Structure 1
Amino acid sequence: MKAEAVRPTAIPTTPPPPVAAESVIVIDPVSGRVLYAKNADQRRPVASTQKLVTALVAMDSNLDQSVTISADDERCEPTKLEMKPGEVHTRRELLRVLMVKSANDVGRALARDIGGSQEGFAALMNQKAAQLGMRNSHFINPHGLPQEGQFSTARDMAIAARSAWRSQTIRSFTSLQSTTFQHSDGRVKTLQNTNKLLKRVPYCDGLKTGTTDAAGRCLISSGTLGGRSAIVVVLKSTTPNIWNDSEKLLRWSLERPASEG
């Protein structure tokens, strides 16, 4: 995927559209400038959007290394790839599926393989968060399923999203509308991206969905248009407002005359 040259994005001259989501932030990923924020520092569960942190930790490892699936990897719900113990896949293959389909068993497999255990990987996630300047987050698992003491904020997740957006590998995965996955026994699955905004907004290129009862509907979206880029973090929205909220903010950020900067 060839990256489009981008320049810093100025704050739009029109006010942001009203959104239903409880916590929101819109940033320019080039400069890091905040274009809009609403309850951006309120701690809350962020569901599978924290898989962006999982991806960033995985990027620090050898992605071509093989992972042998274990029975323990399957001990999660609800979204699973249904891999079988003994299957062998590269970390790169698993990371691609994690970004597209958000399968929790894939997250557990990567965590166990890279961190030695779920707890070991969580320590790496928190270390990565600290390195990035995410000062209001604490992670306990790689997938975002509810766990007491696990939280982040819209602002912190924007920091993680900015780092993920800058990774050509991660963005090449998050921009896929679908992908295929071949199990070791030859079975092939076609997997649709959980991010519906990829089909609704032609210049959207990511980044990650997330939904649990505790976190509500969450979406971190990104896009590049006319040489400008934006990342939109929407936490605890409602159906179908998660898509509407994110689309409105992404379009507000980027669909304007070039003279506005």
Structure 2
Amino acid sequence: MQVFIWSSRKGKPENWLLRMVHWMRISRSMNIAPGPSLACLALSFISFACAPPNLTTTAASTRIPIPHSVVSPQGGPPSVVAKRVIVIDASNGRVLMAKNADERCAVASTQKLMTALLVSEAGSLRDPVVIHSSDTLVEPTKLYLKTGHRYTRGQLLKAILVRSANDASVALARDIAGSVPRFAQQMTLRARSLGMANSVFLNPHGLTQKGQYSTARDIAKLARYAYRQPSIRGPLTIRSYDFIHNDGKVSKLTNTNRLLKSLPYATGMKTGTTRASGKCLVASGTLHGRTVIAVVLGSSSASVWKDSESLLRWALESPQTVRPVVALRTGT
């Protein structure tokens, strides 16, 4: 019987059995006595020869490899398209990198994290909310809630965090504060208590309004605090679910955060987009016990996901290259 394997060098079959016999003859000429050791070595030789050429002997690493394009040769953070960026360590608030982080700008629906925070702090999420006609007049994205229908605060909060529903945001704001303007005042006051000195909020949904602004650094402070709240963190991880309307209609709500599908350790947060803000994303990820939050503001449709994923991968997969900048101070 002849044993052949395919040569990876020249693409031709090689007779390894004949080579082994030749090697054993050389061994006898060198006075190497036959025995169990020699037999075992011969069998090992055959096993190696017959093994698949691509077989590896080490276990696959559980660490997701980082793309070469993410980390610079000097070990610095990746280059991003977004105009304003900040990456922080969620546990201690250290800033890992920043780009125009204190520049005031529109932040779109990322400010719904403040809406969610106030809702979670306003009492029981089982409290009912009756939809008013004024709640339904807001621009999309929305659930197209109907006047007179009744939902719990928790149901509407979940829809805000998963699908960024503007009508749910307005309904909750009115229910909690009595009116949207009063709720917006509460948003700004709560921002100050978190150390967000460069933020003014005028509505609960983030649609463009003159005089409303925040910064990447302030949104990072908000995101870090909101992430600690189980009632907020839980819905952020949901990829999709069925929202049941009062009339029995079912709306399939898919999370606007694509990183939940493309990055295994992504843990959610909030998207946002308007003409004034550009593409925005607050993204969080947890790997090996570490959680980081990346705030990307003023990116493009083609780059916002790449920007955010690159920043998370850099901060979590290559922590040896990360040099903290400064602690992120908050009022908490």
In the superposition, the TM-score normalised over structure 2's length comes to 0.73
- SS of the aligned residue for 1:234 comes to strand
Structure 1 runs of 4+ aligned residues shifted over 2 Å read: 256-261
Q: Name the CA distance, whole Å, in 1 between partners of 2:106 and 2:225.
A: 20
| Root-mean-square deviation (Å) | 1.6
Match of 2:151 in 1: 89
2:68 paired with 1:15? no
Match of 2:253 in 1: 191
Match of 1:34 in 2: 95
Q: Name the CA distance, whole Å, in 2 between partners of 1:113 and 1:14.
A: 49
Match of 1:133 in 2: 195
Q: Which has the larger radius of gyration?
A: 2
Residues 76 and 322 in structure 2, CA contact (< 8 A), matched pair in contact too: no
2:184 paired with 1:122? yes
- SS of the aligned residue for 1:162 comes to helix
- Report the alpha carbon displacement of residue 61 of structure 1 after superposing the two structures with TM: 1.2
User: Structure 2 residue aligned with 1:218, among 276, 280, 286?
Assistant: 280
Partner AA of 2:192 in structure 1: A
Q: Name the CA distance, whole Å, in 2 between partners of 1:259 and 1:246.
A: 17
Q: Name the CA distance, whole Å, in 2 between partners of 1:257 and 1:236.
A: 26
Q: Name the CA distance, whole Å, in 1 between partners of 2:236 and 2:284.
A: 10
Match of 1:200 in 2: 262
Match of 1:61 in 2: 122
Residues 129 and 137 in structure 1, CA contact (< 8 A), matched pair in contact too: yes
- Report the alpha carbon displacement of residue 179 of structure 1 after superposing the two structures with TM: 1.7
Q: Name the CA distance, whole Å, in 1 between partners of 2:107 and 2:181.
A: 19
Partner AA of 2:106 in structure 1: P
Map Cα deviations across residues 13-51 of structure 1 (whole Å, 9 max, x no partner).
820000000000000010000000000000000000000
Which sections of structure 1, spanning at least 5 residues, go unmatched? 1-11
2:136 paired with 1:74? yes
Residues 204 and 223 in structure 1, CA contact (< 8 A), matched pair in contact too: yes
Q: Name the CA distance, whole Å, in 2 between partners of 1:214 and 1:260.
A: 32
- Report the alpha carbon displacement of residue 258 of structure 1 after superposing the two structures with TM: 8.1
In the superposition, the TM-score normalised over structure 1's length comes to 0.93
Higher RCO (CA < 8 A, seq sep 6+): 1
- Report the alpha carbon displacement of residue 256 of structure 1 after superposing the two structures with TM: 2.7
Match of 2:62 in 1: none
- Report the alpha carbon displacement of residue 259 of structure 1 after superposing the two structures with TM: 11
Change (3 A) 1:53 1:260: closer
Residues 226 and 258 in structure 1, CA contact (< 8 A), matched pair in contact too: no
| Overall identity of the aligned pairs, in % | 54
User: Structure 1 residue aligned with 2:109, among 48, 54, 69?
Assistant: 48
